[in-house]
Amino acid sequence: MRLILLGPPGAGKGTQAANIVDKYQLPHISTGDIFRANIKQGTDLGKRAKEFMDKGELVPDSLVVELVEDRLQQDDTKVGFMLDGFPRTLPQAEALDSVLTNMGSTLNYVVNIVVDPSVLVERAVGRRICRDCGATYHISFNPSKEDGVCDKCSGELYQRSDDNEETVSNRISVYTNETEPLVEYYKSSGKLVTIDGLQDIDKVFADIQEALGV
């Protein structure tokens, strides 16, 4: 199975990505992981990517596509893969299709987890994280037993500096503007499946499994 997972910040995509990888035994491929692996290994692609990153610049689409193509040619992807965080733009999606065609392959599904933006803002702004163990809570949906104290290790809970309404709204806006053309692109190909991310976590995953048909 070869699929892409889409979802805005705060939609629970990370949780569902882990569920999908575990259930279907697929390699989880993200551009961040690819960048880190290539830079750590000192590959030519990694060195080229690092030059842009060191200057605080975005890695160009052409190089990102090269890195993804290299990753998709590794042995563990013979069983399939799940792409997370790529493609982000329509040109990247078109380039990915070309890469897969050249490999004699194609995508099976594009899973799009949808949540109303106002809910996403509320989720992010109310998030609290333990400084010691990294456990995540929410002041409304999943509060700790004692305010400001982690249930697991008694560490201090804090709010990330970028978990404020303005920053979160901007992240969601950027994501929406980038991915809207992607949604239409994959819908027209018949590969898009839309999942309601407002449901209980288990129901979201059940809907994903039903959409994938296995």
Express each pLDDT in 113-124 by its tens digit: 999 988 888 888
Mean pLDDT throughout 158-163? 88
Domain with CATH 3.40.50.300 in the chain: 2-115+167-212
Confidence (pLDDT) at 212: 94
Do 114 and 194 meet the contact criterion of CB atoms below 8 Å apart?
A: yes
Encode 96-120: b = buried (16+ Cβ within 10 Å), e = exposed. beebeeeeeeebebbbbbebeeeeb
* Tens-place pLDDT, residues 8-53: 888 888 889 989 999 999 999 998 889 999 999 999 999 999 999 8
Check pLDDT > 90 for residue 197: yes
Pick the CATH number of 2-115+167-212 from 3.40.50.300, 3.90.180.10, 3.40.50.620, 1.10.3430.10: 3.40.50.300
The band of 162, judged by pLDDT with boundaries at 50, 70 and 90, is: confident
- What confidence score (pLDDT) does residue 189 get? 93
Work out the percent of the chain whose per-residue pLDDT is above 70: 100
Cβ–Cβ under 8 Å, residues 68 and 74: no
Whether pLDDT at 214 is above 80:
no
Question: Which ranges of the chain does DSSP label H, i.e. alpha helix?
Answer: 13-24, 31-41, 44-54, 61-72, 90-102, 117-125, 165-188, 201-212
Say if residue 178 is exposed, middle or buried (CB neighbours under 10 Å; 0-12, 13-18, 19+): middle
Q: What is the pLDDT of residues 93-104, one digit of tens each?
A: 999 999 999 999
Q: Which of 18, 5, 1 is nearest to 186 (CA)?
A: 5
**Which residues are catalytically annotated?**
13, 88, 127, 160, 171
Contact 191, 185 (CB under 8 A): no
Quick one: pLDDT band at residue 146, thresholds 50, 70, 90? Answer: very high
Please tell me the predicted confidence (pLDDT) of residue 168: 85
For position 167, what pLDDT does the model report?
A: 87
State the pLDDT at residue 136.
85
Lowest mean pLDDT among 10-14, 77-81, 104-108: 10-14
pLDDT of residue 98: 96
Q: How confident is the model at residue 85 (pLDDT cuts 50, 70, 90)?
A: confident
In this model, does residue 132 exceed pLDDT 80? yes
Mean pLDDT for the stretch of residues 131-145: 89
Distance spanning both ends of the chain, measured CA to CA: 10
- pTM across the whole model: 0.81
pLDDT of residue 141: 80
Please tell me whether residue 196 adopts helix, strand or coil conformation: strand
